[in-house]
């Protein structure tokens, strides 16, 4: 693990940073976190910020069969807790109407999984600046378009953008990143707006399930007899997509730079 950057040299009389201060002989100038991220020299803070983002991307695909199995076996609360998928929240909302499920259980079950990586984007913006977007954009060029669009919206709406992003299906991770940039927003304000926005999103989806009611459960129940073939098919599809994507990146050289 690498250590944190040293503080810049200061003039002992004025306390202001010395212009052009250089490290003493035998020492190397500490690189800023964004440069170390690009070079792959991570410290423990980098692992805490970027690690959950990488793990979440992997879990999204690895956990698809699990979420599908739970939904098809009438366990929407567990599916909402472990996956936070739209289908699980629709069925959870239906269960409030048909099975007497507590509305608080239905609302709070998906909240941890939907918010778990949001602080990482916030502190990623604070620690790395635009280098994190560049890092993520190496495998997915859509990040650059998301950032350009997000900057226009954030410049106009600021805190409202953080709150409304999940509700109106905008690329919320970009707004969380922008909120974390220095001098934009304190963390306590961000986390309150984030939690309120995610709850509003959950209410939006579960209300749909509540109004659909029993038909939503009937569809899941009718598919439950085919749950094993469906899950196996999803696993095969995920493997095929991963192999094709990896081969395409190897052929075009679009993988992460070393």
| pLDDT of 40 | 66
> Tens of pLDDT along 78-123?
999 999 888 889 999 999 988 889 999 999 999 999 999 999 999 9
**94-103, 124-133, 243-252 — most confident range:** 94-103
| pLDDT of 5 | 44
> Tens of pLDDT along 164-216?
888 888 778 888 988 888 777 899 999 999 999 999 999 999 999 899 887 87
**Average pLDDT over all residues of the chain:** 77
Instruction: Let me know if 27 is exposed, middle or buried by CB neighbors in 10 A (0-12, 13-18, 19+).
Output: exposed
| pLDDT of 60 | 86
Q: What is the pTM of this model?
A: 0.72
Q: Which residue has the higher pLDDT, 147 or 98?
A: 98
Q: Per-domain residue ranges for the chain? A: 47-236
CB neighbours of residue 50 within 10 Å: 20
Residue 43 confidence class, pLDDT cut points 50, 70, 90: confident
| pLDDT of 139 | 63
pLDDT > 90: percent of the chain = 22
Give the relative orientation of helices 214-223 and 64-72 as an angle to the nearest 10 degrees: 110
Instruction: Copy the structure tokens of residue 142.
Output: 């859509």
Per-residue CA distances from 76 to 34, 92, 205 (Å): 41, 5, 13
């Amino acid at each position: 693990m690498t250590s944190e950057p040293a503080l810049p040299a200061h003039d002992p009389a004025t306390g202001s940073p010395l212009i052009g201060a250089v490290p003493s002989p035998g020492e190397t100038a500490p690189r800023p976190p964004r440069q170390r991220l690009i070079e792959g020299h991570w410290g423990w803070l980098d692992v805490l910020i970027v690690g959950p983002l990488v793990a979440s991307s992997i879990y999204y695909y690895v956990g698809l069969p699990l979420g599908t199995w739970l939904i098809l076996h009438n366990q929407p609360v567990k599916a909402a807790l472990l996956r936070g998928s739209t289908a699980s929240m629709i069925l959870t909302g239906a269960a409030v109407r048909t099975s007497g499920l507590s509305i608080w259980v239905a609302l709070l079950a998906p909240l941890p999984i939907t918010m778990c990586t949001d602080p990482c984007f916030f502190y990623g913006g604070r620690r790395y600046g635009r280098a994190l977007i560049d890092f993520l954009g190496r495998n997915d060029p859509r990040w650059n378009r998301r950032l350009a669009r997000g900057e226009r919206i954030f410049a106009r709406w600021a805190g409202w953008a953080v709150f409304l992003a999940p509700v109106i299906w905008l690329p919320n991770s970009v707004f969380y990143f922008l909120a974390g940039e220095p001098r934009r927003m304190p963390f306590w304000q961000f986390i309150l707006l984030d939690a309120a926005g995610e709850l509003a999103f959950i209410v939006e989806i579960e209300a749909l399930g509540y109004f659909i009611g029993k038909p939503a459960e009937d569809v899941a129940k009718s598919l439950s007899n085919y749950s094993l073939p469906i899950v196996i098919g999803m696993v095969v599809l995920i493997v095929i997509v991963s192999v094709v994507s990896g081969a395409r990146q190897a052929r075009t050289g679009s993988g992460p730079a070393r």
